[in-house]
Chains A and B, each alone.
Chain A
Amino acid sequence: MHAPDGFLNAGTAVATGAVSVGTVGMALRQGRHRLSDRQIPLAGMTAAFVFAAQMFNFPVAAGTTGHLLGGALAAILLGPHIGAVVVTVVVVVQALIFADGGITALGYNVINMAIVPAYGGYGLFVLFRRVMPRSSGGVVGATGLAAWASVVLAAMAFSIEWLFGATAPVSFAQVFGAMVGVHLLIGIGEGVLSGLAVAAVLASRPDLVYGARDLDRSEIANRRPAGMRVFAIGAFASALFFAAIVSQFAVDNPDGLERVAEDTGFASSGAEHALGGSIFADYATAGIGNETASLAVAGVAGTLIVLAVGWGVFAAVRDRRSDAMRA
């Protein structure tokens, strides 16, 4: 997902750049609060770990391989702020030193590969933990689901950026459908790998797993896999939810989507005409008869992302308050 220079238009590059700079700046300050003078060596060392882990393939099926993204894993191990900083450092250095990803594309690359997976992944992790047992197994299960979902969220973010800044007449619907569809599958590898990695860390140094801070010794010792039933329900519900969004594109009868559009207030006889040519790149909505429908999907996906990321930030702030009280 390392987009090159010129992939999206200038306006999008600048806007996403501003969001990235602001968010990472905040993350750095928060990281300092948590780690104080240990921030530099610890973040640096774990950035090296993430970079190295991203380099190595893991098998998916019959010869095809995948790569770890690592944003959610970093957030669950180190906390969302430090996780976001660590993956951002990796992405920036990859662009500047290794020519992997455009320097002018850093705005959206950082959002997609660091900010959304770290904060969104952490937010989802917190939610999934609520329905999982309070044990190592529960943490592992929540990690797996959150990591998988974080990859899908990243694909959605990528697609929404395309909606605003496309440089080719490929519709949002096509990009969204392809990206999200593919990443629903790719994300499974991310989920499995992240869950098992966290399990390994819990086994030797549970104090290093930020997302398991609240567990006491006996709960950590309980390594029984999160009840398969709970896990399956969580996975199925998430898959259903994502699929419901994606499948709208396949539906010949647009009634369901139009209904969504009406309910979410995107549709109105005048709006369809006005929205069509304004802030969205002429391209991205082209090629699909129903601009309103794709905007509705974008709206839902965008809301999901903002909610997940926002929840991640909120949870991190709340963590800090409760840590301070306990100290």
Chain B
Amino acid sequence: MGIGHAHALYLHGHSRIHRLAPPTKVVAAFIFVVAVAVTPREAIWGFGVDAGALLGIAAVGRIPPRFVAARLPVILPFITFAFLIPFIASGEQVEILGVSVSQEGLWATWNIVAKATLGAMTSIILVATTEVPDILKGMSTLRVPAVFISIAAFMMRYLELVVDELNRMRMAMAARGYDPRWLWQVKPIATSSGALFVRSYERGERVHAAMLSRGFTGTMPTIDDAAPAPNDWAVALALPALGIAVAVAAMVGT
């Protein structure tokens, strides 16, 4: 359920995409995903255009398709559920390879698979070309409260540290022969989780002390970055504009 090492998701580069101001990319990604989500599923051509646009951006950003594909499996759990739908759904049945499946169900599966894949691709390419701290700061353009963003930033800063600590605890237990298979053997895992919570909380208190020591009074100081160049907005918004055009055309067409 998620990968701990966010830096592995970023591919260093100096492409036009990399150099776009992060807020423009975050907004563009968000609007594009919304456009994809409202695109009628029957417009298969539309999803093809969307996918092509994303791959085009990946190419400009020098992100190999293999890089994107390698990170797509995160959507597998729900896709698996989606593939079950035609077998359990009601409605008019069709025969596929001798098996009777729901036609509506097939469309539903396509709907989920297409949109999930495009949504995931968008996120993967965004993160590949934009460093996580910049993405988080860019969220303020989407009117996400500053406190929320600060909390997220702290979480990302310390995530790998906490994951490392948890790994060390697990290794220490394994070194003492702990190899649980059943729920009733779970106590050491739970106890170490409790201990990890305490350690994390105490570190939070120490960080707070460090913040106070450097003059913190409750609000994070805003270190304002320059507003993105209008040119950046124009370039970034091309993608969602295309997505919206596709969605509208598809809706009008059906």
The answer to whether any beta carbons of A and B sit under 8 Å apart in the complex is yes
Residues of A within 8 A of B (CB): 2-7, 10, 13, 24-25, 28, 32, 36-49, 51-56, 58-63, 67-68, 77, 85-86, 88-90, 92-100, 102-104, 167-171, 174, 188-189, 192-193, 195-201, 203-205, 208, 283, 286-287
Could you tell me the distance in whole angstroms from the C-beta of B203 to the nearest C-beta in chain A? 6
B112 engages A7 (CB within 8 Å) = yes
B residues near A37, Cβ cutoff 8 Å: 208, 211-212, 216-218
- B13 within 8 Å of A by Cβ? no
List the B side residues contacting A52 at CB < 8 Å.
4, 159, 162-163, 166, 196
**For A5, what are the chain B residues with a Cβ–Cβ distance below 8 Å?**
33, 36-37, 115-116, 118-119
Q: Does B241 contact A (CB under 8 A)?
A: no
How far is the CB of B177 from the nearest CB of chain A, in Å? 15
| Beta-carbon contact of B152 and A193 below 8 Å | no
Q: Which residue of A lies closest to B155 (CB)?
A: A47
B48 at the binding interface (Cβ < 8 Å): no
Q: Is the CB of A46 within 8 A of B193?
A: no
A48–B190 CB distance below 8 A: no
B194, A43: Cβ atoms closer than 8 Å? no
A170 and B89 form a contact (CB under 8 A): yes
Output the least CB separation between B173 and chain A (Å).
12
List 5 other contacts, CB 8 Å, given A51-B4, A104-B33.
A7-B115, A99-B72, A99-B74, A104-B119, A200-B194
**Could you list 16 examples of A-B contacts with CB < 8 Å?**
A4-B75, A6-B36, A13-B37, A40-B147, A42-B201, A44-B153, A45-B203, A58-B186, A61-B182, A95-B123, A100-B2, A100-B74, A102-B115, A167-B111, A198-B194, A200-B198
B29 surroundings in chain A (CB, below 8 A)? 103
Main SS class of interface, A: helix
| Distance of A32 from chain B, by nearest CB (Å) | 7
- Which of B15-23, B53-61, B102-110, B225-233 is found at the contact surface with chain A? B102-110
User: A99-B74, A168-B104, A169-B89 in contact; A201/B1 too (CB < 8 A)?
Assistant: no
Q: Which 3 A-B pairs have the closest CB atoms?
A: A44-B154, A200-B194, A6-B115
Given A42-B205, A286-B90, A48:B115 Cβ within 8 A: no
Q: Provide the bound-state CA to CA distance between A280 and B211, in Å.
A: 51
Q: Which of B77-121 contact A (CB under 8 A)?
A: 77-79, 85, 88-91, 102, 104-105, 108-109, 111-112, 114-116, 118-120
Given A5-B37, A5-B118, A100-B1: A48 touches B158 (CB 8 Å cut-off): yes
The answer to whether A204 and B34 touch across the interface, beta carbons within 8 angstroms, is: no
**Taking A37-B217, A85-B151, A102-B33 as contacts, is the C-beta distance between A208 and B201 under 8 angstroms?**
yes
B residues sitting closer than 8 Å to A (CB atoms) are: 1-4, 6, 9, 29-30, 33-34, 36-38, 71-72, 74-75, 77-79, 85, 88-91, 102, 104-105, 108-109, 111-112, 114-116, 118-120, 122-124, 127, 132, 135, 139, 145, 147-148, 150-159, 161-163, 166, 170, 180-183, 185-187, 189-198, 200-205, 207-208, 211-212, 216-218, 220
A59–B159 CB distance below 8 A: no
Chain B residues near A42: list those with CB within 8 A: 201, 204-205, 208
| A45 & B154 in contact (Cβ 8 Å cutoff) | yes
**Given A5-B115, A25-B145, A169-B91, A43 contacting B191 (CB threshold 8 A):** no
B34 contacts across to A, CB distance below 8 A: 104
Closest to A13 in B: B37
A102 touches B119 (CB 8 A): yes
| Given A46-B197, A96-B123: A32 in contact with B147 (beta carbons within 8 A) | yes
Contacting residue for B166 out of A28, A53, A94, CB 8 A: A53
**Bound complex: CA A133 to CA B150 (Å):** 40
Chain B residues near A6 (CB, 8 Å)? Answer: 36-37, 111-112, 114-116, 119
What is the minimal beta-carbon distance from B42 to any residue of chain A, in angstroms? 13
